[in-house]
């Protein structure tokens, strides 16, 4: 019996999905397959490496050239890729816009990182923003505008994460950075992200960005809630809230065929319960057995659900 025959039998028996059968069959027949995801990851890593190399070079070798020269070089490294994006990019549209070329998104990403580095240099040398929080806010606004102008969800994620950093530093600036304030800020931030994404989706303004807003918002809310599970007086309330949010995430994930939210609900709920149970387990041996048994059950359950989602889609 050939490998292709075995693949056919596995597909008929439901062991592998149709997509898995197609991919494995292509490999067996030595056909060409898409490596777009792998190439994209390598390109993003390459951009990060280039920016890191530029910053390291400036720190160790170019610092003696003077502030004016350094600032001019950084501004040039921002202006050139932005010029490329604005001259090669397609006109703005509220719908999804395809990138004009393979490297376009990475040039935009490079421009964003260099813009942030330029702001950081200006703040370090001249303190023109009166603190790092203003620098992060400016960068976040710029990233958000560029993300919508050029329809780039990766830059949108960068804008949201930068805004989260701004909110954290803003709290520190007022010297009220206790866990309760940080947790409340995170809950408001995550809820606002999800709400903004839903509102923009209904307004048909880049509706495909909804997943980015909701994914990040859900994780922020879940992490903020799980951080309160170990609180002495309110820990059980946070655990109850976490389990309710987990159940909602699983329900909505199943309803709208979004397996990621099923995984979020399962993993965060499991983590919250485990954190509370660890306080009452007798010792490290019992805790180890708990994680081996329950962790295996969770992994198996998610694997079965993932396969079911794959068949349904």
CB of 258 within 8 A of CB of 282? no
Average pLDDT, whole number, for the chain? 80
- In order of 34, 78, 85, the CA distances from 109 in angstroms are 23, 10, 10
d(C-alpha 192, C-alpha 171), whole Å: 18
Has residue 53 got a pLDDT over 70?
A: no
Specify the residue for token string 């001019």. 72
Residue 313's pLDDT is what? 44
Residues ≥6 apart with Cβ < 8 Å to 221: 186, 187, 190, 191, 194, 245
What token pair was written down for 70? 């350094």
Has residue 31 got a pLDDT over 60?
A: no
More confident residue, 69 or 197: 197
DSSP state for residue 16 in the 8-state scheme? S
What is the value of pTM for the model shown? 0.74
pLDDT band for 30, please (50, 70, 90 cuts). Answer: very low
Alpha-carbon Rg for the chain in angstroms: 24
d(C-alpha 188, C-alpha 221), whole Å: 8
What token pair was written down for 215? 């994914």
pLDDT in tens, 237-279: 999 999 999 999 999 888 888 888 999 999 999 999 998 888 7
d(C-alpha 147, C-alpha 168), whole Å: 22
Identify the burial level of 308 via C-beta atoms within 10 angstroms of its C-beta, where 0-12 means exposed, 13-18 middle and 19 or more buried: middle
pLDDT in tens, 146-180: 999 999 988 998 899 888 888 875 555 444 445 77
Residue 299's pLDDT is what? 86
Has residue 83 got a pLDDT over 80?
A: yes
Nearest residue to 117 (alpha-carbon basis) of 56, 44, 46, 45 = 56
Specify the residue for token string 């976040």. 140
């Amino acid at each position: 019996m050939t490998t292709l025959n075995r693949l056919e039998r596995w597909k008929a028996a439901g062991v592998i999905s149709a997509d898995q059968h197609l991919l494995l069959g292509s490999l067996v027949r030595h056909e060409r397959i898409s490596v777009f995801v792998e190439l994209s990851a390598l390109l993003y890593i390459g951009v990060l490496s280039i920016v890191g190399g530029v910053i390291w070079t400036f720190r160790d070798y170019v610092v003696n050239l003077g502030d004016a020269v350094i600032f001019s070089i950084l501004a040039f490294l921002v202006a050139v890729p932005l010029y490329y994006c604005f001259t090669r990019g397609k006109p703005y549209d509220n719908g999804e816009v395809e990138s004009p070329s393979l490297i376009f998104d990475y040039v935009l990403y490079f421009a964003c990182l260099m813009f942030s580095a330029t702001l950081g240099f200006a703040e370090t040398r001249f303190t023109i923003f009166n603190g790092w929080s203003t620098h992060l806010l400016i960068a976040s606004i710029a990233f958000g505008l560029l993300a919508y102008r050029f329809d780039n969800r990766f830059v949108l994620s960068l804008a949201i994460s930068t805004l989260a950093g701004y909110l954290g530093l803003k709290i520190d600036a007022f010297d009220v950075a206790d866990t309760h304030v940080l947790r409340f800020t995170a809950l408001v931030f995550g809820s606002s992200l999800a709400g903004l994404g839903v509102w923009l989706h209904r307004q048909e303004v880049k509706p495909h960005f909804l997943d980015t807003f909701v994914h990040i918002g859900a994780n922020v809310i879940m992490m903020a809630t799980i951080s309160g599970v170990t609180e002495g007086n309110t820990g059980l309330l946070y655990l109850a809230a976490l389990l309710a949010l987990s159940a909602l995430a699983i329900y909505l994930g199943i309803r709208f065929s979004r397996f990621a939210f099923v995984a979020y609900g399962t993993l965060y709920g499991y983590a919250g319960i485990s954190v509370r149970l660890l306080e009452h387990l007798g010792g490290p041996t019992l805790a180890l057995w708990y994680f081996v048994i329950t962790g295996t059950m969770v992994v198996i359950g998610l694997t079965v659900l993932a396969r079911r989602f794959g068949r349904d889609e």
